[in-house]
Amino acid sequence: MMDHATRTGNRLLAALPPADFALLAPHLRKVVIERNSVLIRSGDRIEHLLFPLSGAIAAITELPNGQTVATAIIGHEGAVGLTSAFGASAAPATAVARLSGAALQISPAQFLAAQHRSPAIASMVQVFTMSLLTQLQHVAACNALHSVEARLARWLLHIHDRANEGDVLPLTQETLSELLGVRRTTVTHVVCTMRASRALKSSRRGQLEIDRPRLEAVACECYKVMSRRIDRIVSHGAVGLIPGAPARPPSRSPGSRIAGTGS
């Protein structure tokens, strides 16, 4: 049986009552997620569901002309492949690990069998779906209305929220280009601008050192709004899964790291 310390590494699983979690526990396997690994490609069959314990996973949409753009960042507050709970067999987006970490893995068939026996697990799926839709809606609006600099600051903050420690993020300019859906030359220009404002302390090859307070000043309001709303959905969802459980308020002031992250 998965021990309590392991299961509470993922907020969705931690919110399940013990009896409901016990339906999943025998089938959960802890796996390591390597940075930059492609966990699933858009259109591929979903072979595994992943409940991250640490790290950051980007949902990437690929266009026919080869361009890419990130639509969500998922960490220990969410899951990857959970669309299979609605009967989808193919992945709607490509999932790429942007920070290394660990996750609990389970097959769709094993998860669905447990879901059919547990209203709490079914509710957990709805909680995550609401949080993911919230993120997708904000990202779509932000991409249409805000500058590349503000959008880059937002993505860096979302990733930093899910970093284990420190202010150095292992991100290349190619990765930033993929997240933003812009050319490398645009990323180079924006990074230089953010270094001049000292929101980025340094940008060595493959690494970005951030100054979080300055980065928050550069980011658009979408970061704070999105973080508050997602945390509220996940925290209040825990109340519905465990009767009598108190909603957990954000552990920091609005705009700081997502409540429950390990830093």
As beta bridge partners, residue 217 has none
The pLDDT value given to residue 78: 92
* CA-based nearest residue to 82, from 46, 58, 135: 46
The pLDDT value given to residue 238: 57
The pLDDT value given to residue 86: 81
Domain 4-140 CATH class label: mainly beta
List, in sequence order, the alpha helices (H) in 181-252: 184-196, 212-218, 222-241
The pLDDT value given to residue 3: 52
Q: Which two tokens stand for residue 95?
A: 């999932």
Q: Tell me: the pLDDT tens digits for 186-195?
A: 999 999 999 9
The pLDDT value given to residue 256: 41
Reported pTM = 0.85
**Pairing relation of β-strands 94-99 and 168-169?**
unpaired
pLDDT in tens, the chain (263 residues): 455 445 558 999 998 999 999 999 999 999 999 999 999 999 999 999 999 999 999 999 988 888 899 999 999 999 999 988 887 788 989 999 999 999 999 999 999 999 999 999 999 999 899 989 989 988 999 989 999 999 999 999 999 999 877 899 999 999 999 999 999 999 999 999 999 999 998 767 788 999 999 999 999 898 888 888 888 887 766 555 555 444 443 334 344 444 333 33
Q: How is 64-129 classified by DSSP, letter by letter?
A: TTS-EEEEEEE-TTS-BSGGGGGT--B-SSEEEEEE-EEEEEE-HHHHHHHHHH-HHHHHHHHHHH
The pLDDT value given to residue 242: 53
The pLDDT value given to residue 65: 84
- Cβ contact 73:178 at 8 Å: no
One-letter amino acid of 2: M
CA pair distance 83, 165, nearest whole angstrom: 30
The pLDDT value given to residue 251: 39
Report which secondary-structure segment, H or E, holds 176.
Answer: helix 173-180
The pLDDT value given to residue 84: 84
Residue burial 238-247, b: 16+ Cβ < 10 Å; e: rest: beebbeeeee
Q: Which two tokens stand for residue 39?
A: 């966990």
CATH of 147-218, one of 1.10.3720.10, 1.10.10.10, 3.40.430.10, 3.50.50.60: 1.10.10.10
The residue ranges of every structural domain in the chain are 4-140, 147-218
The pLDDT value given to residue 240: 57
